[in-house]
Amino acid sequence: MGYKVIHHNYRAPNGGEVDLVCRDRDTLVFVEVKTRSSDAFGTPAEAVTSSKQQLIARGALAWLKMLKNPDIAFRFDIAEVRITGKKAEINVIQNAFVLPEPYRY
């Protein structure tokens, strides 16, 4: 993986939000970062509910609109961060979800 971070904590005018906007080669990647110190209440990825996915999608579509809707591949990833003591373990789930209904691009 060769992610290049373009922007972090993007907040769209329409209420959408994206933690990280990145490039992975020729693909634009919208990354949701979830951090947990235990899986007692589920994995970090399980916290990315359908309503959270819609919020991320609104942010992603606003970002694409800002770029004048380019013909570019994009995807949604989740970066799971698990903190144990002073150690952090990161697991990136590529294509964690698709653009949810009713959104289209």
pLDDT at residue 41, as a whole number: 84
Q: pLDDT category, 1, cuts 50, 70, 90?
A: low
Rounded (5°) CA angle 53-55-59: 110
pLDDT at residue 79, as a whole number: 97
All structural domains of the chain, each given as residue ranges with its CATH number in brackets, are 3-97 (3.40.1350.10)
pTM of the model: 0.92
| More reliable by pLDDT, 83 or 105 | 83
Q: Which residues of 76-88 are buried (b: 16+ CB within 10 A; e: fewer)?
A: bbbbbebeeeeee
pLDDT digits (tens, 9 = 90+) for 20-62: 999 999 999 999 999 998 888 889 999 999 999 999 999 999 9
pLDDT at residue 14, as a whole number: 84
> Would the pLDDT of 103 be above 80?
no
Report DSSP state, residue 47: G
pLDDT digits (tens, 9 = 90+) for 62-97: 999 999 999 999 999 999 999 988 999 999 999 999
